[in-house]
């Protein structure tokens, strides 16, 4: 019995330092980056016969992936000829409704609000009004930019 008691004491004596007060702390650096990716696709082309009508429309699409509340701004990269106005509206990826139409200019204007998430094939509507031009061939780049909401 004395041998068992001594053996038990030795086990407690040698094993307890392994568990008593043995800990370490490591600092984990956590970084969550903002993501705002937008792309446009489709081939919108507006054909207008001013003898028949003064306006015509076209559609394109955009995809977005974002992790914060924001707005999409749009601007046109060049001035259109006098008498020509190009408008844009965009489908909201949050609820499928369309934003109110805005007149495009060189200054970025808010088109649609977006919430965190990802969505593909959201429609973009373009409407051209032409008052006093009988012939024109050209193109304009529409720049879409994600801005903090």
Q: How far apart are CA 141 and CA 72, in angstroms?
A: 16
Question: Phi/psi of residue 55, each to 5°?
Answer: -145, 155
Q: From edge to edge, which strands make up the β-sheet containing 84-90?
A: 36-41, 55-66, 117-130, 84-90, 102-103
Task: In whole angstroms, give the CA distance from residue 145 to residue 104.
Answer: 13
The structural domains of the chain, ordered by start, are 36-148 (2.60.40)
The whole-angstrom separation of Cα 28 and Cα 25 is 10
- pLDDT in the model for residue 94: 84
Q: What is the pLDDT of residue 21?
A: 78
* Dihedral angle over CA of 65, 66, 70, 73, nearest 10: -30
Q: pLDDT tens per residue, the chain (149 residues)?
A: 566 656 555 556 555 555 567 999 999 999 999 999 999 999 999 999 888 899 999 999 999 999 999 999 999 999 999 999 999 999 999 888 999 999 999 999 999 999 999 999 999 999 999 988 888 899 999 999 999 97
- Total residues belonging to the chain: 149
Cα distance between the two ends of the chain: 78
The two structure tokens encoding residue 113: 């609000």
pLDDT reported for residue 60: 98
- Give the whole-angstrom CA distance, residue 23 versus residue 119: 46
The answer for residues whose C-beta is within 8 angstroms of residue 45's C-beta and 6 or more apart is 58
Question: pLDDT value at position 50?
Answer: 84
């Amino acid at each position: 019995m004395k041998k068992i008691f001594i053996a038990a004491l030795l086990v407690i004596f040698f094993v307890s330092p392994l568990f008593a007060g043995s800990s370490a702390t490591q600092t984990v650096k956590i970084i969550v980056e903002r993501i705002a990716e937008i792309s446009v696709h489709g081939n919108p082309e507006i054909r207008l016969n001013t003898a028949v009508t003064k306006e015509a429309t076209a559609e394109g699409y955009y995809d977005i992936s974002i992790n914060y509340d924001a707005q999409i701004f749009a601007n046109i990269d060049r001035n259109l000829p006098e008498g020509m106005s190009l408008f844009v509206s965009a489908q909201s990826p949050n609820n499928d409704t369309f934003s109110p139409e805005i007149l495009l200019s060189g200054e970025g204007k808010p088109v649609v609000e977006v919430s965190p998430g990802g969505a593909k094939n959201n429609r973009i509507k373009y409407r051209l009004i032409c008052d006093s031009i009988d012939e024109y061939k050209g193109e304009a780049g529409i720049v879409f930019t994600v801005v903090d909401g």
